[in-house]
Amino acid sequence: MKRLLAVWLCILMLPLKPVLAESEQPQLPEPDPDWVLWEEPADAVEAFAADDASVMPFGMRPLSRYAQVHDVTDEDLILAARVAYLEAGGRNERAYRAVLCVLYNRCVAPRFGGEVTDIPTEAYRKGQFSVIHHKGFKTLEPPEAIVDAARDVFVYGNLDLPENILFFCAARLGKGWGGRRFYQDIGGNLFFYGSVD
């Protein structure tokens, strides 16, 4: 019995796979700069449910059109979050994500910059986001959840609105505002279609 136990222990201690020399180790391809690693494992489940999941490398997802052209800095995300927080009146996640989507859509719409423009250009574009004139705008520390939402929109391109939603106004101004075609009321703001060209 002792001999059988000794043989069994020896078998358990054997490596299951042969160890490869360093030169025999498989080489991974260089990462595509337009793809980034997922930060959350739950994203893998969502990606494989998507129509184009078969072309996505496992553990990767594409950068947004914006992030393929611009380095997205923390300062840019905080600026976008400030605009969204004040324009949405701090109401709820859906409201500030909608504002972030409008800002994103303007950054990538040829109508506004002729090519992909950056967050500061669109945030400070004359006559667009009135909250930039708010007394404490430049010192406002937006909630981290809104900064994370800005990252989700600008880096990963997870948009809640179609790309041709380019305008919004306070609900009190009404659906006939500027003769634009109405899309939806989200968190007390009315969102409108616009031509991206």
- Predicted confidence (pLDDT) per residue in 13-46, tens digit: 555 555 555 556 555 555 555 555 445 444 444 4
143 and 102 both lie in a single domain: yes
124 with 54, same domain: the answer is no
The least confident of 23-37, 54-68, 128-142 is 23-37
The boundaries of the domain holding residue 157 are: 65-193
**Amino acid type, 76:** D
Helix (H, G, I), strand (E, B) or coil at 11: helix
User: What pTM was estimated for this model as a whole?
Assistant: 0.70
Domain assignment present for residue 121? The answer is yes
Q: Are 184 and 114 in the same domain? A: yes
What value does the mean pLDDT take over residues 36-65?
A: 53
H-type helices in 18-161, by residue range? 42-49, 65-69, 74-87, 93-108, 110-113, 119-123, 144-154
How many domains are there within the chain? 2
Residues 159 and 175 in one domain: yes
Q: Which two three-digit tokens encode residue 58?
A: 């496992």
Q: How confident is the model at residue 54 (pLDDT cuts 50, 70, 90)?
A: very low
H or E segment to which residue 60 belongs: strand 60-62
pLDDT at 32: 56
In this structure, are 45 and 115 located in the same domain? no
Residue 87 and residue 183 share a domain: yes
Query: Is there a domain that residue 28 lies in?
Result: no
pLDDT mean across residues, the chain: 80
User: Is residue 130 domain-shared with residue 58, that is, in the same domain?
Assistant: no
Q: What is the pLDDT of residue 60?
A: 63
